[in-house]
């Protein structure tokens, strides 16, 4: 009854404040008393169910064909610090799938659904928190937007309590457009400039606009997703050689990010515009409002234990 | 008791709808399949065969709107060149300071390193430190997530040099290259927009394009374009001036594509600005579906279950999904979105039935008839195409 999928807080508050018209003051207080008692019972019930719930966390990587995302994509410090916030820190899974494919491909969302389903059943997970990075948010959003595509999806959706989408490429990136146009020349002229994966093609801005309008939910004007999808938005890149903060996540990577930022707006994480990161669901927070020292999170840093991001996610595991 | 009475009244109010087939409403921008159905093979891939239904509540306060076609806006262009031209100096005209130039070698061509690039103006070399404010090699770009091919380099022309004509020289270049010029600071843009997002094979595609400075059209603009299918096959599009704007009108091909993905509309524009040549390339995407299935156009509404049933006609074996949004009327008489539902199943050629079961439990307190069924879509999940859409499909029930 409490589990309003679209906005649990908003719905509960609407019920608190509802007082039938025409009641006198005495009766109104009586109603408020009922509501307070009701709320207490509900709150205790919710707390009780939270205590008895078996919460797990899944780490969903971005574009790429991962076979060891624990070490290569997230790195152990990030994964271990975050899962340490769970009542049972063993309830975690690091996804390894082929996200060079289109999001609906059996090697992408099909693989993700398989690994999430196995995790849920093997660990008896009743509350699933999903942490995605970059294009992993799109693959997760595909599952949540297309529950009829695969008979495993509804069960996964029913277990999800929220998706914490770190720098999701919800509206694509101009960088994908920049590298993909070569395909036209390859096709028409028989050149070979280098194979661009379907995932990169898919993350072109115009392609994501089409998919957001027709195949995905959660963006402006579209139906909301069945469960909370909230993003962490990286707004800038810090790559000053004298600033030690530039080295979190790898200095060399940040240096490249500053060059690619020319294709992006003034507010970006070096790979994605802030508008893309905040295009779907709701914004949980932007980097400088929560990171230690008000540091920005570059696209590489938003998947690493940089500036306290891991601590924030760890704390979130107990909610 | 009052609740029972309410349900009874509701049922009575909707009795006119229940049990009787009604026609779906059609609006101008709806995608409606009136054509013959095609029988094409199931594409390669793994597909679900079980029937799956799903519904969930929506927040009535969230506004939904019909999708509009994407407008592509470009400040970039592409050129092909070769080692011979690059070693002599490739002419590049820019319209603003700070242009970025990316050079990508084709297979067999010599790799480009930013340190090997030289910039000239009026035949005179400019020292690299003054010519380029930024340089990046392949490794740096790839690690930053820009999936460039090996041997690619990017340089940014220093702002202080302004715009205009430059010569880019690569002394030891050999083979063929693709040059990409991006002018983030330019006020010259090419805009291109298709008239819809989703089409059926054989439909008419209209693309409007405009090359302008600060949205004022540049005189003497020439535009060409082509449509590229997911298989890579291209179809020329001719642009003509119609009512003062450049427009291409084309009948879409019947090509049956096995590859997933979208069709790209590529638009190439050019104009002159004194001695300088202004170029822009833009692209947008559309979906073209083979008519593998269609709605019969009728529906049946069950007010007790808040369920809509819709017959479909299937031409090609595959998995088809029906989805839609239920709007209900609040106490204030305003219709708002309250629930989303979808159902998919595997069908062989012939007739089928799909239901949208919204579930009364998803109906917020204070909301009820009349109901509206909006944003109905029939999709081919095996071929990733949209076959039909109805922005405002049906209105059922009367106000209680």
Q: Where are the domains of chain B?
A: 12-68+291-396, 76-182, 187-289
Token code pair at residue B80: 């092909």
Cα separation, B129 vs B150, whole angstroms: 24
pLDDT of B232 reads 87
**How far does the CA of residue B108 sit from the closest CA of chain A (Å)?**
9
Q: pLDDT by residue (tens digit) across B148-181? A: 889 999 999 999 999 999 999 999 899 999 999 9
Cα separation, A173 vs A72, whole angstroms: 23
Q: For the sheet with B368-380, list strands across it.
A: B52-57, B335-347, B318-329, B368-380, B385-396
Residue A2 lies in a domain: no
Q: pLDDT by residue (tens digit) across B62-117? A: 999 999 999 999 999 999 999 999 999 999 999 999 999 999 999 899 999 999 99
Go through A128-150 and write b for each residue having 16 or more CB atoms within 10 A of its CB, e for each that does not.
Answer: bbbbbbbbbbbbbbbbbbbbbbb
Interface mutation target, options B75, B76, B134, B144, chain A, most CBs of A under 10 Å: B144
Residue A1 lies in a domain: no
Q: Which of residues 86-115 of B touch A (CB under 8 A)?
A: 100, 102, 104-107
Of B130, B134, B111, B109, which is closest to residue B120 (Cα–Cα)? Answer: B130
Q: Are A107 and A171 members of one domain?
A: yes
Provide the CATH number for the domain formed by B76-182 in this structure. Answer: 2.60.120.1370
Is residue A132 within 8 Å of residue A227, measured between CB atoms?
no
Residue A63 lies in a domain: yes
Per the structure, the count of domains in chain A is 2
Q: Are A71 and A208 members of one domain?
A: yes
Residue A176's domain spans which residues? 55-316
Is residue A136 within 8 Å of residue A171, measured between CB atoms?
no
Facing residue for A149 by CB, picked from B67, B340, B344: B344
A187·B144 Cβ contact <8 A:
no
Tell me which residue has tokens 């909610």.
A319
Q: Which residues in chain A come in under a pLDDT of 50?
A: 1-36, 38-39
Handedness of CA A287, A290, A296, A300 (dihedral sign): negative
Q: Are A213 and A128 members of one domain?
A: yes
What are the distances in angstroms from CA A273 to CA A122, A149, A186, A260, A265? 38, 30, 28, 11, 6
B45·A105 Cβ contact <8 A:
yes
B57·A187 Cβ contact <8 A:
no
Provide the CATH number for the domain formed by B12-68+291-396 in this structure. Answer: 2.60.40.3870
Length of chain A: 319
pTM over 0.80: yes
Facing residue for B284 by CB, picked from A106, A206, A213: A206
Q: Are A119 and A263 members of one domain?
A: yes
**How far does the CA of residue B160 sit from the closest CA of chain A (Å)?**
17
Treating both helix axes as pointing N-terminal to C-terminal, what angle do A111-123 and A136-145 enclose, rounded to 10 degrees?
A: 80
Q: Are A90 and A232 members of one domain?
A: yes
A215·B180 Cβ contact <8 A:
no
Cα separation, A239 vs B155, whole angstroms: 18
Cα separation, A136 vs B244, whole angstroms: 45
Q: Are A27 and A125 members of one domain?
A: no
DSSP for A199-215 reads HHHHTSHHHHHHHHHHT
Q: Are A20 and A149 members of one domain?
A: no
Q: Are A97 and A182 members of one domain?
A: yes
pLDDT of A146 reads 98
Residue A282 lies in a domain: yes
Q: Are A144 and A20 members of one domain?
A: no
B384·A191 Cβ contact <8 A:
no
Q: Are A22 and A160 members of one domain?
A: no
Q: What is the CATH number of the domain that holds A90?
A: 3.40.50.1820
Please give the helix or strand (H or E) that residue A228 lies within, else none: strand A228-233
Please, which residues bridge with residue B134 across strands?
A: B156
Is B76-182 the same fold as B12-68+291-396? no
Tell me which residue has tokens 């109104």.
A28
Is residue B166 within 8 Å of residue B119, measured between CB atoms?
yes
Q: Which of residues 5-34 of B touch A (CB under 8 A)?
A: none
A148·B53 Cβ contact <8 A:
yes
Q: Are A233 and A118 members of one domain?
A: yes
Chain A positions touching B135 (Cβ under 8 A) are 259
What is the topology classification, in CATH, of domain B187-289? Immunoglobulin-like (2.60.40)
Helix intervals (H) in A169-235: 174-180, 182-189, 198-202, 205-214
A151·B264 Cβ contact <8 A:
no
Is residue B33 within 8 Å of residue B387, measured between CB atoms?
yes
A243: CB partners within 8 A, 6+ apart:
none
Is residue A268 within 8 Å of residue A250, measured between CB atoms?
no
Chain A positions touching B62 (Cβ under 8 A) are 6, 224
Cα separation, A58 vs A186, whole angstroms: 38
Token code pair at residue A139: 């693959």
Residue by residue, pLDDT tens for chain B (400 residues) are 344 434 444 443 444 344 567 999 999 899 998 878 999 999 999 999 999 999 999 999 999 999 999 999 999 999 999 999 999 999 999 999 999 999 999 989 999 999 999 999 999 999 999 999 999 999 988 887 788 889 999 999 999 999 999 999 999 899 999 999 999 999 999 999 999 999 999 999 999 999 999 878 999 899 999 999 998 899 999 999 987 789 999 999 988 888 889 999 999 999 998 899 999 999 999 999 999 999 999 999 999 999 999 999 999 999 999 999 999 999 999 999 999 999 999 999 999 999 999 999 999 999 999 999 999 999 999 999 999 999 999 999 887 6
Cα separation, B134 vs B143, whole angstroms: 16
Q: Are A109 and A37 members of one domain?
A: no
């Amino acid at each position: 009854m409490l589990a309003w999928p679209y906005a649990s807080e908003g719905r509960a508050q609407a019920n608190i404040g509802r007082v039938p018209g025409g009641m006198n003051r005495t009766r109104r207080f009586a109603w408020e008393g009922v509501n307070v008692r009701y709320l207490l019972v509900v709150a205790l019930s919710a707390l009780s169910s939270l205590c008895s719930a078996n919460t797990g966390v899944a780490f969903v990587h971005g574009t790429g064909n991962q076979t060891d995302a624990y070490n290569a994509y997230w790195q152990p410090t990030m994964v271990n610090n975050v899962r340490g916030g769970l009542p049972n820190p063993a309830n975690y899974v690091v996804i390894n799938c082929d996200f060079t494919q289109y999001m609906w491909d059996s090697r992408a969302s099909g693989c993700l659904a398989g690994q999430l389903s196995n995790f849920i059943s093997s660990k008896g997970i009743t509350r699933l928190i999903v942490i995605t990075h970059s294009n992993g948010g799109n693959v997760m959003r595909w599952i949540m937007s297309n529950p009829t595509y695969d008979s495993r999806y509804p069960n996964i959706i029913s277990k999800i309590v929220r998706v914490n989408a770190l720098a999701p490429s919800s509206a694509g990136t101009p960088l994908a457009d920049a590298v993909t146009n070569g395909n036209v020349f390859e096709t028409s002229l028989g050149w070979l400039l280098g194979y661009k994966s379907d995932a990169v093609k898919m993350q072109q801005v115009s392609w994501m606009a089409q998919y957001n309008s027709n195949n995905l939910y959660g963006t402006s004007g579209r139906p909301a997703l069945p469960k909370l999808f909230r993003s962490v938005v990286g707004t800038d890149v810090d790559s000053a050689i004298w600033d030690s903060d530039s080295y979190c996540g790898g200095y060399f990577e940040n240096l490249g990010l500053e060059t690619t930022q020319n294709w992006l707006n003034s507010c970006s994480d070096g790979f994605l515009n802030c508008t893309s990161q905040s295009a779907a669901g709701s914004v949980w927070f932007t980097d400088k409002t929560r990171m230690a020292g008000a540091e920005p999170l570059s696209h590489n840093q938003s998947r690493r234990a940089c500036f306290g991001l891991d601590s924030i996610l760890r704390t979130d595991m107990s909610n | 008791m009052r609740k029972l009475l309410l349900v009874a009244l509701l049922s009575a109010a909707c009795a006119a709808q229940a049990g009787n087939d009604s026609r779906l409403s059609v609006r101008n921008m709806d995608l409606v399949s009136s054509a013959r159905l095609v029988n094409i093979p199931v594409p390669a891939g793994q597909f679900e065969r079980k029937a799956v239904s799903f519904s969930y509540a929506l927040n009535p306060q969230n506004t939904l709107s019909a999708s509009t076609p994407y407008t592509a806006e470009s400040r970039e262009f592409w050129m092909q060149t070769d080692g011979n031209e690059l070693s002599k100096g490739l002419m590049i005209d820019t319209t603003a300071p700070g242009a970025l130039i990316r050079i990508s070698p084709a297979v067999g061509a010599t790799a480009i390193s930013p340190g090997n690039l030289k910039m000239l103006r009026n035949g005179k070399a400019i020292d690299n430190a003054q010519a380029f404010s930024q340089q990046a090699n392949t490794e740096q770009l790839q690690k930053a997530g820009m999936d460039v091919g090996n041997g690619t380099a990017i340089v940014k022309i220093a702002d202080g040099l302004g715009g205009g004509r430059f010569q880019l020289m690569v002394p030891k270049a050999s083979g063929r290259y693709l040059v990409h010029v991006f002018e983030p600071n330019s006020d010259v843009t090419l805009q291109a927009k298709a008239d819809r997002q989703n089409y059926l094979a054989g439909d008419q595609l209209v693309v409007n394009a405009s090359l302008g400075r600060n949205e004022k059209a540049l005189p003497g603009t020439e535009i060409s374009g082509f449509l590229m299918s997911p298989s890579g096959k291209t179809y020329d599009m001719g642009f003509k001036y119609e009512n003062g704007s450049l427009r291409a009108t084309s009948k879409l091909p019947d090509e049956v594509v096995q590859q997933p993905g979208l069709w790209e509309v590529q638009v190439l524009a050019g104009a002159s600005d004194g001695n300088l040549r202004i170029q822009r390339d833009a692209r947008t995407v559309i979906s073209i579906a083979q008519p593998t299935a269609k709605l019969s156009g009728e529906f049946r509404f069950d007010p007790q279950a808040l369920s809509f049933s819709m017959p479909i006609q299937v031409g090609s074996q595959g998995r088809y999904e029906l989805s839609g949004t239920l709007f209900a009327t609040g106490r204030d008489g305003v219709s708002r979105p309250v629930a989303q539902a979808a159902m998919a199943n595997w069908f062989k050629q012939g007739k089928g039935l799909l239901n949208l079961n919204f579930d009364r439990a998803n109906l917020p307190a204070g909301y009820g008839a009349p109901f509206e069924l909006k944003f109905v879509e029939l999709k081919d999940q095996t071929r990733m195409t949209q076959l039909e859409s109805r922005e405002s499909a049906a209105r059922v029930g009367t106000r209680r």
